[in-house]
Structure 1
């Protein structure tokens, strides 16, 4: 399975989600490669920080920020059970290439009406990609949610009738994710019983159920 985390809007937490999703999928011996397709290279920086801190590699990480991604990702997929792509903001050529490479597109949005409206550009690119990949699956994922806030509920309601649909799993605004970025560790390595670790596990499980359901249909 090739999962691409994409949104034209920056600052929605794509890299944090990509890293933690890759880490969760890599549990139980699954072979996972994370492709850093963002020219900023934040996922590669995290991987290097992990090495400096003396932690074992959680998954393979490669930099591939070029618009030939859709031709190169399948080669990487032959040696992996799952590929996770950390996509770029506002780089249309790279975004199109990631869309053509993916089996599933996750569109992270924050609990704000502005994030929902800003996804219009992303949805236009998704519709374009589906001309060539009609079976391409996509879902919104609500990220950086405050606990039981009205705005999070309103954003979820606004996205409920959209295509793509909204995943049931949501990810909170957690301090442990900041610690993760600084130390090169994953949330479950810092505290495997933390709300953050549980939310990431639920997200990965929902994605796997979605993928298995589509594969068997």
Structure 2
């Protein structure tokens, strides 16, 4: 499975989600490669902090913020079961390359109608890509949600009628995620019984159940 986190709107939590999904798949016993395709290199910064803390490497990681991503990933992915791509914050040639690489594209959005509307350019690219990659799948993923709020309920209702549909799993606005990015850890390591860890586990489980 090759999963890319993409959205032309920055600040939606792509890096946090990519790192935690890669970590959860590893925790389940899968061999995982995370590709930092964001020129900002935030995932690589997290890995460097983890190294400074003396923590063991959880999964393979490489920085590859290049427009040739789709041509290089097949060789890089040999020997792993899953590839997770932390995509760039804008729709560029690099984002197009990530789409050509991925089997699943997850579009993180915050529970706001504006966030879904702001993804229009990315959705257009996905429609174009399906012309030669009919198996390409895309889903919205509600992220940074505040539980039991009207905004979250309204966002779920809005996304219920859109294409692509939303994942059943969603991820909340959790302090533990911010701490993890700073410390080089993941939620299942620092707070294994937390709601944050359970939400990431639910996201990984849904992806594995629905393939490819």
Which has the higher mean CA deviation after the structures are superposed, 126-135 or 40-49? 126-135
Pair 1:7 & 2:24 matched = no
Deviations 1:155-212 (A, max 9, x none): 111111111111110100000001101100000101111000000000000010010x
Please report how far the alpha carbon of residue 135 of structure 1 lies from its aligned counterpart in structure 2 after TM superposition. 0.9
Deviations 1:116-175 (A, max 9, x none): 110111101111111121110111110000011111111111111111111110100000
Native 8 Å contact 1:47 1:184 kept in 2 = yes
Q: Supply the RMSD in Å over aligned alpha carbons.
A: 0.9
State the partner residue of 1:73: 73
TM-score, length-scaled by structure 2? 0.98
Q: Which runs of 5+ in 1 are unaligned?
A: none
Whose helix proportion is higher, 1 or 2?
Answer: 1
State the partner residue of 1:127: 127
State the partner residue of 1:94: 94
Please report how far the alpha carbon of residue 28 of structure 1 lies from its aligned counterpart in structure 2 after TM superposition. 3.6
Equivalent position SS for 1:205: helix
Aligned length: 212
State the partner residue of 2:44: 44
State the partner residue of 1:184: 184
Please report how far the alpha carbon of residue 113 of structure 1 lies from its aligned counterpart in structure 2 after TM superposition. 1.3
Please report how far the alpha carbon of residue 29 of structure 1 lies from its aligned counterpart in structure 2 after TM superposition. 2.9
Distance 1:52 1:133 in 2: 41
Structure 1 runs, 4 residues or longer, greater than 3 Å off: none
Distance 1:196 1:124 in 2: 32
Native 8 Å contact 1:2 1:77 kept in 2 = no
Equivalent position SS for 1:83: strand
Distance 1:74 1:152 in 2: 38
TM-score, length-scaled by structure 1? 0.96
